[in-house]
A = this chain, B = another copy of it.
Amino acid sequence: MGLREVKRERTRRLIADKAFELFSDNGFGRTTVEQIAAAAEVGPSTLYRYFPTKEGLVLEFVDDCLADAVDWFHQQPAMDLPDGLRAVIERVLEQLERNPERIRAVFDLAEQTGSVSAHLNELIWRFRTDLADELVRRLPTDDPRRSEFVAALSAGIAMNIIETVVRVWVDTPDTVEAKALARRAMRLLSTGGVPLPGAPDA
């Protein structure tokens, strides 16, 4: 790896770190990109070459975690769907748990700022569709409509567990661990502890 890429990574990190610093000091809305650029000692146009939007500064880590999990799942060997879902869920949580303070900071910012929350939800939604695409490959192809439907619902369930667990986890003074919570959620679902909506005639 050349000097170029090293420098690139360094400035990238520097910008993101300075951004988090300023956001937590002054709030997202009261921090301008010019201030961030100045703090990282780069020009604003350089900042925009690294991050597409102001919100992107905040969400890069989450994005990386989710992208990694999809990638990882993509190259996992075949396994049946329940195990697959569990594996993806745990993979995402492992990735997120690599950096608990950052995750907490991200969710704090999302709670305070509408546009961050919106972008975060957008990210989550993209993960859901990516995961659904991955799941559909592991389902029978005889009835594609049905398989797509099942994949979408399954991806939604996985995402639901992840999101719920993470939100509880970030609100909890860090004694709980995310994977244990996730297992509790899975158990609640599979034993009827969480009631599923009743179909009227089935």
A binding-site residues for B, Cβ under 8 Å: 80-83, 85-86, 89, 114-115, 117-119, 121-122, 124-125, 149-150, 152-154, 156-161, 163-164, 167-168, 183-191, 193-202
Secondary structure dominating the interface of A: helix
Nearest residue in B to A89 (C-beta to C-beta)? B197
Known contacts A117-B125, A122-B114; is A194 also within 8 Å of B150 by CB?
Answer: yes
CA distance A158 to B194 in the complex (A): 12
Q: Once the chains bind, are A199 and B195 in contact (CB under 8 Å)?
A: no
How distant is A136 from chain B, measured CB to nearest CB, in Å? 13
Q: Once the chains bind, are B188 and A164 in contact (CB under 8 Å)?
A: no
CA distance A168 to B149 in the complex (A): 8
Q: Of B121, B168, B191, B202, which contacts A190 at CB under 8 A?
A: B202
5 contacts between A and B (CB under 8 A): A82-B198, A121-B124, A153-B164, A154-B195, A156-B160
Q: Of B156, B191, B197, which contacts A164 at CB under 8 A?
A: B156
How distant is A49 from chain B, measured CB to nearest CB, in Å? 19
Known: A81-B195, A186-B197. 9 other contacts (CB 8 A): A85-B198, A115-B118, A149-B164, A149-B185, A152-B168, A153-B160, A154-B194, A157-B157, A186-B196
CB-CB nearest 8 A-B residue pairs: A156-B160, A82-B198, A121-B121, A85-B197, A186-B199, A118-B118, A118-B122, A81-B195
Residues of B close to A115: CB separation below 8 A: 118
Residues of B close to A185: CB separation below 8 A: 149, 153
CA distance A193 to B198 in the complex (A): 14
